[in-house]
C-alpha cells in the first residue's frame, strides 16, 4: 500500500494500492493496461474535493497533463488547457493578459480537469458559463472524444462526468470561450461595492482573492477541501416558513421559482463555528469548511463530524445538507449520504 496523504488536500492518513502519475499521453498506456486487466482505479487532479473515509485498494491515477494556449477570435478568446494544469494559475495567467471572464472563480483549489467534473462555481459564476467543450480519453478503447457543452449535462456542482456512463474515462483537456466584450459580474457579496462602469478585470480578481484568503483556510496549513456541503435548494413553502423568523437568511431566487440558501449560514446558526470532534473541526471563520484541525484526524472522523453538522442543521431548519466533497472507500467512490447516514445511526 502507498501513502495517499500528499495527493489530497484534507491530508488525512490514508493508503492506496498504488499511485500512477500521468504526465504525458504515453503514460495513458499504463492506464489502458489497468483497465484491460480489470483492475480498479480512480482519477484525481490535486485532490481538493476528495475525502478518503477508508483505505482504497485500487490505483490512484494522478492527472498531471500540462499545456495551455490562448486563441484569439474576432469576438472571443478560446482557452485550451490540459486537465493537470492548476485552475487558479490558469485564471491568474488570463488576468495578467487582461482576458476576463474567469476572475470570479479565482483561488478555487484544484486542477483544470476537476472544473467540469464538479462544475465549480463561486461569486455568481460557474464553469459551465464558459465551457465550450471537454475532451476525454477512454481507457478501454484508447480513444479521445470531445463532448460539447450540451453533452456535458452540467448542473449545480454536477455533470455527466460524475455518472457511471463515464466510468473508465478521464478528462484530458477543456476548451473555454471568453467574450472580448467583458462585463463584470458584481452580483455577489463584497463585489457589489465595486463600480461596474470603471472596475477592471484585475480589481475583481484581487477582491475575490482577498475575500477568499480572509475567509478560507490554506489547505497547505490546515487540511480541508473548501466548501464541504452544497448550498441547498428549497421551495417557496420553506421560505415562507423560515424567513419570518430569520430576517437575515441569505436566500437567492432561481429562475425555476426555487431558492438557494447559503449552507454556511445555516451551519453558523447552529453555533458550530470552531466546533471540533475527534481532531476534525468546523472552521472558525467559514462554517461551510470542515478541516483536519488537529492534522491527525482520520477521514472517518471528518465524516462523523459532517454527519453531526448535517443532523444539527436538519433539526433546526428541516434541510438535509448534501456533501459537495466526493468520498472514497475501499473499492472506490461511495455515496456520501449513505456514509453520513450510517454514522448518524451509530
Active site amino acids: 157, 227, 324
Q: Is 114 helix (H, G, I), strand (E, B) or coil?
A: helix
301, 307, 312, 314: CA torsion to nearest 10: 170
Q: Report which DSSP code applies to 257.
A: S
| All cell numbers assigned to 307 | 454527519
The arrangement of strands across the sheet holding 41-44 comes to 2-3, 15-22, 56-63, 41-44
C-alpha 19/C-alpha 85 separation (Å) is: 19
Q: Compute CA 74 distance to the chain's CA centroid, rounded to the nearest angstrom.
A: 32
The answer for 279, left when phi > 0, alpha when psi is -120 to 50, beta otherwise, is left
| All cell numbers assigned to 166 | 463515464
| All cell numbers assigned to 28 | 495513458
Question: CA neighbours within 13 Å on the CB side: how many for 240?
Answer: 4
Q: Are 169 and 139 in contact (CB under 8 A)?
A: yes
C-alpha 193/C-alpha 195 separation (Å) is: 7
C-alpha 104/C-alpha 66 separation (Å) is: 23
C-alpha 268/C-alpha 225 separation (Å) is: 18
C-alpha 133/C-alpha 173 separation (Å) is: 9
The answer for 301, left when phi > 0, alpha when psi is -120 to 50, beta otherwise, is alpha
339, 10, 22, 90: CA torsion to nearest 10: 120
Amino acid at each position: 500500500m502507498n501513502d495517499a496523504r500528499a495527493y489530497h488536500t484534507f491530508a488525512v492518513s490514508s493508503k492506496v494500492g498504488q499511485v500512477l502519475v500521468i504526465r504525458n499521453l504515453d503514460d495513458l498506456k499504463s492506464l489502458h493496461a489497468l483497465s484491460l486487466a480489470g483492475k480498479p482505479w480512480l482519477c484525481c487532479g490535486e485532490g481538493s474535493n476528495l475525502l478518503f473515509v477508508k483505505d482504497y485498494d485500487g490505483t490512484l491515477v494522478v492527472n498531471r497533463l500540462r499545456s495551455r494556449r490562448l486563441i484569439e477570435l474576432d469576438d472571443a478568446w478560446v482557452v485550451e488547457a490540459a486537465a493537470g494544469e492548476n485552475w487558479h494559475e490558469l485564471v491568474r495567467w488570463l488576468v495578467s493578459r487582461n482576458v476576463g471572464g474567469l476572475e470570479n472563480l479565482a483561488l478555487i483549489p484544484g486542477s483544470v480537469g476537476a472544473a467540469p467534473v464538479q462544475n465549480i462555481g463561486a461569486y455568481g459564476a460557474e464553469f459551465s458559463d464558459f465551457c465550450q467543450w471537454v475532451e476525454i480519453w477512454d481507457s478501454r478503447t484508447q480513444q479521445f472524444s470531445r463532448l460539447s457543452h450540451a453533452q456535458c449535462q452540467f448542473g449545480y456542482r454536477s455533470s455527466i462526468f460524475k455518472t457511471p456512463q463515464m466510468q473508465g474515462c478521464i478528462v484530458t483537456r477543456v476548451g473555454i470561450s471568453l467574450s472580448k466584450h467583458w462585463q463584470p459580474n458584481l452580483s455577489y457579496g463584497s463585489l457589489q461595492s465595486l463600480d461596474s462602469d470603471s472596475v477592471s478585470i484585475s480589481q475583481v480578481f484581487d477582491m475575490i482573492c482577498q475575500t477568499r484568503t480572509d475567509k478560507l483556510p490554506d489547505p497547505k496549513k490546515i487540511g480541508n477541501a473548501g466548501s464541504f456541503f452544497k448550498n441547498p435548494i428549497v421551495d417557496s413553502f420553506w421560505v415562507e416558513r423560515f424567513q419570518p423568523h430569520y430576517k437575515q437568511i441569505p436566500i437567492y431566487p432561481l429562475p425555476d421559482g426555487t431558492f438557494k440558501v447559503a449552507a454556511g449560514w445555516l451551519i453558523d446558526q447552529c453555533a458550530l463555528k470552531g466546533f471540533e470532534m475527534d481532531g476534525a473541526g468546523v472552521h472558525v471563520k467559514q462554517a461551510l469548511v470542515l478541516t483536519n484541525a488537529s492534522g491527525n484526524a482520520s477521514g472517518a472522523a471528518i465524516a462523523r463530524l459532517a454527519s453531526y453538522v448535517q443532523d444539527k442543521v436538519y433539526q433546526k431548519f428541516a434541510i438535509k445538507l448534501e456533501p459537495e466533497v466526493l468520498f472514497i472507500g475501499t473499492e472506490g467512490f461511495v455515496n456520501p449520504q449513505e456514509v453520513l447516514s450510517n454514522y448518524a445511526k451509530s
